[in-house]
Amino acid sequence: MRAGLLNRRVVLLTREVQRDAANELIGEWGQVAVTRASIRNTSGMSAIKAGAELAIVKASVRLRFRRDVTAGMRVQHGSDYYVVEAVLPDEMRREHVDLVCRLLSPKEV
């Protein structure tokens, strides 16, 4: 895989559950890795949810081959956050991993 195609710096985030001083469970997003990626918006549509119009943006994020990425993780690029819906590894050549993602709205972040 050519390095020039991976022209975005992204942060991979995973949900970490910890306990606070009152022994309550709190969930926070912890950093797994900082890596280079290619981001392509594949589709966009709008839907009506709870009486409000909502834009849904799907994206494909490609990064170098790694095994520690799972569905449910998040990808941060600047101020944009994507939720990973599916992980599609290149098992044949083991060069890259494609992530099927959805752009999160500011309310979901």
Q: What is the pLDDT of residues 23-42, one digit of tens each?
A: 888 889 999 999 999 999 88
Helix (H) or strand (E) run with residue 54 in it: strand 52-64
**Within a domain: residue 49?**
yes
Residue 9, token pair as written in the block: 């710096």
Domain count of the fold of the chain: 1
Side-chain-facing half-sphere of 77: CA atoms under 13 Å: 23
Tell me how far apart the alpha carbons of residues 39 and 97 are, in angstroms, rounded to a whole number: 12
Instruction: Determine contact, residues 45/70, Cβ cutoff 8 Å.
Output: no
Strand partners, 48: 53
Q: What is the pLDDT of residue 36?
A: 96
The pairing of strands 52-64 and 74-77 is: unpaired
Range(s) of the domain holding residue 41? 3-103
**Within a domain: residue 108?**
no
Instruction: Determine contact, residues 13/74, Cβ cutoff 8 Å.
Output: yes
User: What global pTM score does this model have?
Assistant: 0.85
**Within a domain: residue 86?**
yes
**Within a domain: residue 109?**
no
Q: Residue 5 — φ and ψ, nearest 5°?
A: -75, -25
Q: What is the pLDDT of residue 48?
A: 64
**Within a domain: residue 40?**
yes
What CATH number has the domain bearing residue 66?
2.40.10.270
Q: What is the pLDDT of residue 23?
A: 85
Q: What is the pLDDT of residue 52?
A: 66
**Full pLDDT tens readout for the chain, 109 residues:** 566 789 999 999 999 988 888 888 888 999 999 999 999 988 777 666 666 667 788 999 999 999 999 999 999 999 999 999 999 999 999 999 999 999 998 888 8
